[in-house]
Structures are given as structure tokens and as C-alpha cells.
Structure 1
Amino acid sequence: MRVKAAYPSSGPDDVPRVLIGTGFFISREGHLLTNATVVQKPERAWIEKDGVSYAADVLGVDETSNLALLKLRSLPPSFNFFHLADTSELPPVGTVLLRISMPLEFGASPSQGMVTGYESRFGQRFFPCKFMRTSLPAGPGEGGAAYLDLSGRLVGMQTFSLPEIGSTYALPARAALRLRDDLLFNGEINYGWIGFEVRVESDRENGARLVIDKIMADTPASGSGLAVDDVLLEIGDYEIHTLDDLRNAMFYTRVGTFTDIKVRRGGAIREFTVQVDKRPKNEPLEVVTRAPRNEGDGTPVQTPQEPPPEAMRLPFDAAEPSYVPSGSN
């Protein structure tokens, strides 16, 4: 459905601004998801379905992932909703996708693309988990669109755009479920934290790996048995090979729960159980403490240069919300 939000006028004409996005239901009680950029502290928010407007309350937003959770004050006579599946499996690269969006003032519009990759970072911007990169470009009003596979299963929600290559990033459905739970039950997003930093090492025999470089004092990690120079192998359900893997695994940990961590220490495999804490607000998403180095000569690993600033347009309005005069409602 179409999501709209009204904001105070920013010009001398005193005409309210209205932002337009796309959303979709995730419960029979009228909960729905859209982009945070569409409903970031509006004067009022509503949806339009079958030509009828329904007022909505914004239950919470997460700017980092560009997700917002809303709930209708009254329900349409009939509507369908998607289930947010709790599965760690992501659609493989090359999977065909169907996007259902509400561009501009048009009706529900399907478009087809495919999964082209997964990243937890683009340039200097860090995502909280692996985001799904797609071949679908973003247009005005399409932020918050649902992405389905060919079985009709919800696999993600459009969040950011890469206009230079006609691409978009989508938040995976499992990530949306994890964020929905926090907003619904806690009223805010609580990211998990254990309290260690890592470095990247590599050699020709074993490839790249993440090694614990520092364990912070008075943190869950400090009393867990983990040690500096342990090689990370698994956290919870996820194998750890790259920084993308580490960010992704930490994102899906839940504050207050216990998670299993598997490491290699010397020639032995060790397993530890750690209670996850809430990440301090001053702790960044980035966790690497120094440049990766090759074993043997200790020379820095050559990594690709960061894209220039003009190629890093990932503002939170990348969801392409559309502005319309308030009189068009």
C-alpha cells in the first residue's frame, strides 16, 4: 500500500509537505513496515488502500537500517499480510526477485530483477548486517517496497539506492523481523555487543581470517574465556570468515541472551558461551582495529581503494520518497 506522512511547511507558502513511500502489512493486527525516511517524526501518517485513507501511528524507527514500524488505528475490511520468516538462509546471488511498489501516484506496480550481492558496508557507510544488493533501480515513492522470490516468499524490503549503477539495497526479511521485535516489545533498537575487537590476517594456505586483537575490560568477552589471538570460526548460527560475517552475526544476537562462539586456539577448536550485552552508543559498527597483514613478511594486504565521495550516495532519503502538495490527498 501507499504510505504518506505530513510535515510542517519549509517555505513561505505555509503548505505542509507530504512524503510518499511504499509499505506492506506484516500482521493481521495492522502492523506494517516502510522506510524511516518517510515517517521520521511527522505531524501525522496514514496509508491509502483501495482509495481509502487509514490513520497510522509510528511505533518506532531505526535510522541505521532505514526501517519504520507503524500500526493502523482502524483496519480495512480485508487485507493480506506477509510473514517475516526467521531463517538464516539468504537468497543466493542470481535469485530472481519481484518488487511490489507504489511509485509516485501510480497503483501497485510489479518489477523484476535479481540478487546481485550482499554487503554490510559501502564506502564509509556501515550497515548493521548484510544487506541484499539488487539489480532494481529506485524511483520516487518506492522506498519500503516488498521484495519477493518466485515462490511469493517475502525476502526483503527496499531501503537504500545506488543510483550510479541503477541498483538498490534491501533489508533481509529476517533482519526486519529482528528489528520489528525490538520496536514492538522494547520501543527501541538494542544492538548486541560482546566487547572484543579483531584484526584481519591472511596467508596462502588458509586465506583471510578474523583474529581477536583486543578484549575490553568489564565486558561479556572479558569473563568468557575468549583470548587475544583466538581465530573466530562461528558466532551463533553464522560462520565467520570476513568482517561482513562478523557484523551480520552480531546483528542477530539478542541482548540478554546467550550465544555460542567457536574459535581456533593453536591447533584446538574451543567453544564458549557468552551473554550478549547492549552495545554502548559510542561503539561504532566497525570492529577491525588495524590493517590486515600477510603472514611471513608482515606487509599490509593491498585492499581496493574506497570509492570517491560522488559514488557513495547512500543518504537516508535514498529510499526515494516523493514530495507532493498536501492538497493531493
Structure 2
Amino acid sequence: MPGAFLRPERRKGGNARCLTAGGIRGNPPKPRAGGGAKFLLIARGAGSIIDWKFFMRIPKTAMTAIAAAATAAAAVSARAQIPQNRTPDAPEAASLQQSIYSLFENNRGSVVKVYARKEAVSKDTAGNETHTTILDVGSGFIASKTGAVMTSAFITRGARKLWIEYDGRLLDAESVGFDPITTVSIIKIAGSFKSADLPVVVIDPFAEPVKPATVLVSISHEMGLAASPRMGMATGRNIEFGGRFLPTVYVRTNLPAPRGSTGGPVFSLDGKFAGMIVASLPEIGGSFILPARAAAKIRDDIMICGEPIYSWFGMLAKDVRDPANGAKVVVEFVAENAPAKKAGFMVGDEIVEINSQKVSDNTQLREQTFFIRPSETAVFKVRRNGKIVRLELVTERMASDIVKSAEANVAPSHRGAAPAQADGPKTPRGEGEKK
């Protein structure tokens, strides 16, 4: 074998000494001119038993050929023992690259820049106010042929003037409505704009939230730049974060969301809309996306009613870890004169099913209740004193003041915003911009 250890050895039945190196037997003779210097190389490289006397009878030309073959064999043997890095099959890698490129090219035209001119007010120590006009820039995507755009309420909230940059053109926009709970905002191109050529992002109202490890691609105008793709994956699902309950199940991703990314769409590799970026998670280098089904509900609420519509159940439930029976959801509070009270719910009831869907934790419960409309009947099954009880709950509409109380969460943020131009935003072109 390569680099074998040479050691003296006494042969059985005689006094002759020999060298053993990967199977070398016998004492090497003095090398002949032009050939003998390769004996040891051959022996060490080939790793097989070699008789020195036999080699002495081989012509010089044959010896050279044997040496070359032995050296090559040794190299192959050495490489076989060294672990090699595994690389993707070339056709598969090329196919993946083409899929990502096609996804970006097919959807980049749907992603627009959203400009919002706002007025920031600051006070000095004497209480004197200073008014500064600033310009926020974010991302959005076209959600209808009539020019409706879904974006982030963090950009549009408190705006004095809105614009959309589409296909290199600045178009006046106006607010349709926003949801302070999910922070989704709907704006539209001003006037009776309509175009059959608008590239609309199709949102499946029945899509399930993507599973962890699903590969995702986001497209946004981060930092106000040209439409930029980022690739990552879903890393989990959350119903709460940092001690705060979320309105429905959010998908957590490792897609970074620098300033200007919120409002951008996220797609799975098959080209389907997976959700919209609604929050950045800089502590983990990721983001939250509102899943497609929830985004479709909020879009329809705002476009049809001008505001989000939420149902009120009038009870609170908590997760309980039972070592014997596993996780379960238990009712801990029922409000007086609430739909839950009228339906017969009691504190301590274990919720096991809602509308034929099994429930084992708050995540599943809130995922189901988010989509139940006011005045709809939700059929629950609860375990009470060891027995299954069927309860029918007719929901009511959540009071508007409760929804609006969440507006403090989307107060205008001017950190990092640029001073506004008197006549509105400019459209400087960078790499990747359309001409």
C-alpha cells in the first residue's frame, strides 16, 4: 500500500534477512543503470508480493511500463480511500436553477414599488413642533385586474399621498382599506383603471399553509431597489411570538426581510402563491408570511366591505399538556351573553373538534376559527366529565372598535425613510430595472 512501513524480517528456515513493504519479499539487488531505481517505487505503490529476482530478468522497456501501471494503480487506490464531496447531479441542478429563474421571470412583473409620502412631527425640549415630509418605499403585488395592490399597512398607514411604480411608470394610488390585525393593506391605482394585461398574482382561497422545509422564493423591492428574489424555506408555524398571540397561523421562514420587503409575495417552487411577507424577524434572520388562504380572506373583506370582518366567539382557551393523554385545548373563560355562553360552553370543557376538524392545540383551533364568518354556525365537540358533548355556536361580528384598537401596532414608522420630493418620488433605475 502507499507509504507502507518497511521493516526487517527473518525468514523461517534461514538466516537471510528481507524487507517487508506491502508484501515485498527478498533482498533487493544493486540497481542497474536506468532501471533499478524504480524497484522500490513499484513495490511500495503496487502493494503486492514482488520477487526481486523476477524483476531483474524483465527488460528495461517492460520495467518502465510496469512502473507506470503500478504508480497509476496506487493513485487510484489512494483516491478511493479519501472521502469525496458529493455534488448534485448536473441535470437536476440545472433543472432547479431553471425553475427558480422561470418563477422569478414569470412573477417579477406582478411586484410593484409602493411609495407613501408622510408627515413626521417631532418636538424639541421646549415643546416646539417640527414637521418633516418624508417618503417611505415598500413592496406590493397586483391582486386584481382592476389595479388593486396588496401591500403592508406599515407603508400606507398615515400616508398623505400614495403612488405605485409599475412597469417603469409612476401611477397615483388611493387606499381601499387595511387590517390592523394582520397589517395587510389594499390600495388601488387611482381612477377607473383597468387593464387585461395586468399580471395578477393568483391566490388560492383554499390553500393550506406550506409545511416546514418547503423551499420558498420571495420577490420584493428591498431597500427600494429593483425587484429582487431571495430563496429560503419555511421553518415552522406560529400562533404566537414573543408573548403575543397572532390572529391566525403564520408561516415562519428563514427569508431575510430587509426594509422595503414587507408586502412582497412569496412563492413555492411550483409557482404557487404561498403568502405575503408581513413581518421581519431580524433576531433569527427570517420573516413571517401570512399564508395564502388568510391573505385571500383579508383581500376579499377589504375589497368588498372596505374593512376586515372578524367573528366573535366570546371565550378563551389554553393549551394543556397532559402526560397521560397528550396535548389538549381547554376552555378557561366564557364571556357573559357571548356566543359561546349561549351555545352552552363551560370553563373546563376540552375542545376536541370544530366543524369535523380534530383539535389538539390552540394552533389548530385558531386556524379554524379565523375563517368562520359572522352569523355562521360552528359545530364543536367537547369532552366534559368524560363524555363527548356536541355544541352549536352561532358567531357574531367582532366590534369595529376592538379591531381598530390594534391600529397602534401599525403606527407610521419613519426610521430610515427618505425626505420626500415636493412633486413626489423619482424613479431612478438600477440593475434589473425595466427600461
What is the correspondence of 1:131-146 to structure 2 with a 5 Å cutoff? Answer: 131-146=250-265
Q: Give the AA of the match of 1:185.
A: I
The alignment partner of 1:116 has SS state of: strand
Q: Indicate the residue corresponding to 1:2 in structure 2.
A: 113
Q: Does 1:21 align with 2:138?
A: yes
Aligned length: 299
Contact 1:116 1:134 (C-alpha < 8 Å) held by counterparts: yes
- Matched with 1:310 is none
- For structure 1, which segment, 90-99 or 104-113, has the greater mean C-alpha deviation from structure 2 after superposition? 104-113
CA apart distance, 1:239: 3.2
Partner SS, residue 365 of structure 2: helix
Distance 1:67 1:17 in 2: 22
Correspondence list, 1:82-101, <5 A: 82-87=201-206, 89-101=208-220
Q: CA deviation at 1:153?
A: 0.8
Aligned partner of 1:53 in structure 2 is 170
Q: Which residue of 2 aligns with 1:172?
A: 291
Which AA in structure 2 matches 1:83? V
**CA apart distance, 1:262:** 2.2
Distance 1:201 1:62 in 2: 31
CA distance in 2, matches of 1:317, 1:188: 17
Q: Does 1:184 align with 2:184?
A: no
Q: Which of 269, 278, 289 is the matching residue for 1:159?
A: 278
The question of whether the paired residues in 1 share the 8 Å contact of 2:343 and 2:391 is answered with yes
8 Å CA contact retained: 1:194, 1:219? yes
What is the identity, as a one-letter code, of the residue corresponding to 2:161?
Answer: R
Which residue identity is paired with 1:45? Answer: L
Flag the structure with more relative contact order, 1 or 2, with Cα contacts below 8 A and sequence separation at least 6.
Answer: 1
| 1:168-192 CA distance string (max 9 Å, x none) | 0111111111112222222222321
CA radius of gyration, larger in: 2
Please show how residues 220-235 of structure 1 align to structure 2 within 5 Å.
Answer: 220-235=339-354
Q: Distance in 2 between matches of 1:112 and 1:318?
A: 29
1:109 matched to 2:228? The reply is yes
Question: Take 2:317 and 2:224, find their aligned partners in 1: how far apart are those partners?
Answer: 48
The alpha-carbon deviation at position 217 of structure 1 amounts to 2.1
TM-score normalised per structure 2? 0.63
CA 1:316 to 1:167, structure 2 compared with 1: closer, same or farther past 3 Å? Answer: farther
Matched residue, 1:325: 419
Map 1:207-222; keep pairs closer than 5 Å.
207-222=326-341
In structure 2, list runs of 5 or more residues that go unmatched: 1-111, 123-128, 404-408, 427-435
* More deviation, 255-264/76-85: 76-85
Partner of 1:263: 382
Q: 1:84 to 1:61 in 2, by over 3 A?
A: same
Q: Judge conservation of contact 2:175–2:186 (CA < 8 Å) in 1.
A: yes
Task: Indicate the SS of the match to 1:61.
Answer: strand
Separation (CA, whole Å) in 2 of partners of 1:163 and 1:264: 42
- In 2, the alpha carbon distance for the partners of 1:230 and 1:265 equals 5
1:222-279 alpha-carbon deviations (Å, 9 max, x no partner): 2223333321112236532222233322222211222222222344433332111123
CA–CA distance in structure 2, aligned partners of residues 13 and 52 of structure 1: 33
In the alignment, structure 1 segments of 5+ residues that lack a partner are 285-314
1:189 maps to amino acid: P
Report if the CA contact (8 A) 2:138-2:224 is conserved: no
Q: CA deviation at 1:50?
A: 1.7
More strand by share: 1
Hey, what does 2:151 align to over in structure 1?
34
Q: Which amino acid aligns with 2:218?
A: R
Deviation at 1:325, TM superposition (A): 3.1
1:250 to 369, 380, 383: 369
Pick which of 228-237 and 40-49 moved more. 228-237
| 2:238 equivalent to 1:119 | yes
AA matched with 2:139: T
| Residue identity matched to 1:7 | K
Give the letter aligned to residue 67 of structure 1. Answer: V
Amino acid at match of 1:112: M
Q: After the TM superposition, which of the residue ranges 110-119 and 272-281 deviates more from structure 2?
A: 272-281
Identity %: 30
Counterpart Cα distance in 1 of 2:130 and 2:414: 24
Q: Which runs of 4+ in 1 moved over 6 A?
A: 11-14, 281-284, 317-321
SS of equivalent to 1:164: coil
In structure 2, the residue matched to 1:290 is none
Residues 95-144 of structure 1, C-alpha deviations (whole Å, 9 max, x = no match): 00010111223211111000001112111322111111100111121110
Aligned partners of 1:160 and 1:319 also within 8 Å: no
